[in-house]
Amino acid sequence: MNRKRNGPAGTPSSFSAGGWKHSGAVRIILLLLFVLLFYLSLSPRLVPETYDIALGSKSENEIKAPHQIIDEKATLEAQEKAAEKVDSVYSTVALHNELLIDEILVRIDQLNQDDQVTTQDKVDIYRRTIPERLGEYISSFIQSNSNQGMYSANLLDEMKSVVTEQQYSIPEETFYKIPKLTSEQISEMRTVSRQIVRKVSGETIADAETARITVPELVNASSLSERAEREIVQELARFVITPNRFYDKDATEEAKVQAKQNTPAVVIKQGDPIVKVGEVITQDLYDRLNSLGLLKEEKNYLPQLGVLLLALLFVSALAGYQEFMASLAPSAASSTSSYKRNNVQWMMLLLIFALNLLMMHLVALAHSERWPYIAYLAPVALGSMLVTLLLDMHLGIVSAILFSCLSSIILNVGQESVFDFHYGFVTAVVSFAAVLAIHRASQRSSILKAGVMAGLFGSIAVVALQLVESDVEQGQMLQTVGFMLVSGLLTAVLVIGLMPFFELSFGILSALKLVELSNPNHPLLRKLLTETPGTYHHSLMVGNLSEAAAESVGANGLLCRVGSFYHDVGKTKRPMYFIENQNGGANPHDKLDPKVSASIIIAHAKDGAEMLRQHKIPKPIRDIAEQHHGTTFLKFFYFKAVKQAEAEGVENQWTEDDFRYPGPKAQSKEAAIVGIADSVEAAVRSLDHPTVEQVENIIAKIIKDRLDDQQFNECDLTIREMDKIAETLKETVIGMFHSRIEYPDDKALKTRHEAKEQRA
């Protein structure tokens, strides 16, 4: 078979043959940029800068500190200005807003049961009292906490001002819906509303409007089934959600006092300028330069050559791995190995490496005598996690090895040795833990879990290293463990923040993006559900089948599932021409010319791809919609046309090619599997009481027909994989249609029972 592939999730959707994306010249430029990146990252640590300077002369160069030194004069100035630089302190106040919404709903229940009050009066009461209740609740909260002394008076005043300023205005129509609620509805709404408000208010909220944005999604995901209930809960929840983070004047003043007392010594960090261009070299500067080893008569270029060779070795490792993966047979390669030679991926990889190295350098600049272990704060697993999420796990592991080597040099501040084993080992442990924890992530919350795992394993690594040293101290151990835990969380936060940038900028279809696209609230899926419910149900079933089949052969199951959700979206243009949407009604194809019927059926693949393109759905999903039928033959309408021509006594003017889908054929395993699952689900659904033998025969026939029709010639499915797909589809179909499928034993028992009844 031809081994052409179009690629699954995790690959740039903008890939296309030819152009700069596959240009060898661009590839060389990108590799040279990698060399430059590694050289610039390593040279500050490995190349000592020396200068030929005479006492009393003017410096022709800017001279930077090779390592950290204390600046006494600047330290005194910093201590005087420390208080002025203290940022405002914000404190969180637990308002327990869920109690407020519960009180409101209890009051609504009481008033709604009062038959003596008219509906209009109830509306007026709700319009007046509900908005007032928030102010009463805040005033009561302030009074209670003033007596207990939990929060300062200034903080409570600030809270009241901000809450009032950001108060939400309930829409007028909501007040007319509330009197219609029954006690049973309100009881269910109380439970859901408390959960939603507690969840949202559990986060730190400075801007209530931003927090309120999440309410509709939580309401739609709740157990509330009626639209009116969801709308009322949504508006009431928005109303009671308030900010809980406020400016704390007292805490700010205290922080300024502490800043004055605890101002650390100001240091000249590694890389900071000691002498500016044109500055006269005084005795003090000359002595400082001499003590730092910056005065030499001859410059040695061997260190630069060594750094260049190291950079070339690192780039060779990356390029060699890419070439190795690209040379593997498709059955042995990873799901993204076919894109190893694409310049878009190289460009993204370059940016990821640059970001990770930048973070290492920034943390290394914070190294001081007071914080000798702050380098453990560096988010060293950032690059490996991004590579794993956006490209593939194996490349993430290779990147982790390179980052381990780089961190052992970059984070090795103020040491004479080139490599620091401690940082390299810890980086390897943290990166491997993050890669293994994140490589199957399907939700963005998994990134946070991976960051926690990285922090925990990193903590174990630094504790292990310190325990084998004889001079371990408890304070030192606590400091390193604290930095490692914070590093894991910082890594997760950065990855979560950077993922949307890479997904949008490089057209990446990651597993996390796929999960977002599977949300039933997506406009296309809602359109599919409301306009073609039969097709929507069919798509869900195909998603279950294709996901199981894909995972059985190592393909991207999540891509198959989400692709199945969208594969028939083109049917929404002419829903009643597809049998699953006819609900037993008249079939419009009975009155149409077979060629017209075939053109309508065939058009849904192209229509779907175009609709997906208009909604900016990533290319791999568009490919599935366009390719899941390949160039298959519509036998029913062809033979109907032949029969019609014979009945009319004319020669059939149509050929089989006129009744084939235009293609293209499936270019990836995922598109081929969705196509098979699509046919299997439709065929099994058409049977009233399918048996296991019928299911097996249907699946085998569908795969054989497509194989004989050369529908798999442009993807990399093997015969062995097709057998696995057939077996998995059979097991999944039996599980899905278990109550309808007759097993051989059940069938024989039924036959004997019928025979016994006939004899009786």
| Tens digit of each residue's pLDDT (9 = 90 or more) over 299-343 | 557 778 888 999 999 999 988 888 777 766 444 333 433 444 578
Please report the pLDDT score of residue 356 as a whole number. 94
Please report the pLDDT score of residue 339 as a whole number. 40
Question: Which amino acid, 672?
Answer: A
**Strands annotated E in 280-400:** none
DSSP letter for 633, please: B
Q: With contact defined as beta carbons under 8 Å apart, do 428 and 396 qualify?
A: no
pLDDT beneath 70, residues of the chain: 1-19, 48-49, 66-68, 71-74, 269-271, 288, 291-294, 296-300, 327-341, 414-417, 441-442, 470-472, 737-760
**How many CA atoms, within 13 angstroms, populate the side-chain half-sphere of residue 752?**
6
Distances (CA, A) of 217 to 155, 213, 221, 520, 521: 32, 8, 6, 11, 9
Say which residues have a Cβ less than 8 Å from residue 391's Cβ, sequence separation at least 6: 10, 11, 336, 345, 348, 349
Please report the pLDDT score of residue 11 as a whole number. 41
Closest CA to 390 of 430, 427, 350: 350
Distances (CA, A) of 703 to 375, 539, 680, 690: 57, 19, 9, 18
| Tens digit of each residue's pLDDT (9 = 90 or more) over 194-223 | 999 999 988 888 898 998 899 999 989 888
Q: With contact defined as beta carbons under 8 Å apart, do 664 and 626 qualify?
A: yes
Q: With contact defined as beta carbons under 8 Å apart, do 637 and 601 qualify?
A: yes
CB burial string 534-569: b at 16+ within 10 A, e below? bbbebbbbbbbbbbbbbbbbebbbbbbbbbbbbbbb
DSSP letter for 444, please: T
Mind giving me the DSSP string for 483-505?
HHHHHHHHHHHHHHHHHHHHHHH
Mind giving me the DSSP string for 669-707?
HHHHHHHHHHHHHHHHHT-SS-BHHHHHHHHHHHHHHHH
* Alpha carbons 707 and 726: distance in angstroms, whole number: 13
User: What SS3 state is found at 299?
Assistant: coil
For the record, the structure tokens of 517 come out as: 């696209």
Q: With contact defined as beta carbons under 8 Å apart, do 233 and 224 qualify?
A: yes
Q: How far is CA 73 from the centre of its chain?
A: 48
Closest CA to 458 of 495, 408, 424: 424
Q: Which domains does the chain have, with CATH numbers?
A: 20-42+299-510 (1.10.1760.20), 51-82+263-291 (no CATH), 90-252 (no CATH), 518-751 (1.10.3210)
User: What SS3 state is found at 311?
Assistant: helix
Chain position carrying tokens 């997506």: 522
H/E segment holding residue 587: none
| Partners of 247 in the β-ladder | 90
Please report the pLDDT score of residue 341 as a whole number. 54
For the record, the structure tokens of 294 come out as: 């910056």
Say which residues have a Cβ less than 8 Å from residue 569's Cβ, sequence separation at least 6: 524, 527, 528, 608, 611, 612, 625
Please report the pLDDT score of residue 293 as a whole number. 60
For the record, the structure tokens of 363 come out as: 């943390």
CB burial string 142-162: b at 16+ within 10 A, e below? beebeeeeebbebbbebbbeb
The pTM of this model reads 0.55
Mind giving me the DSSP string for 700-743?
HHHHHHHHHTTTTTTS---HHHHHHHHHHHHHHHHHHTTTTPBP
Say which residues have a Cβ less than 8 Å from residue 194's Cβ, sequence separation at least 6: 98, 101, 102
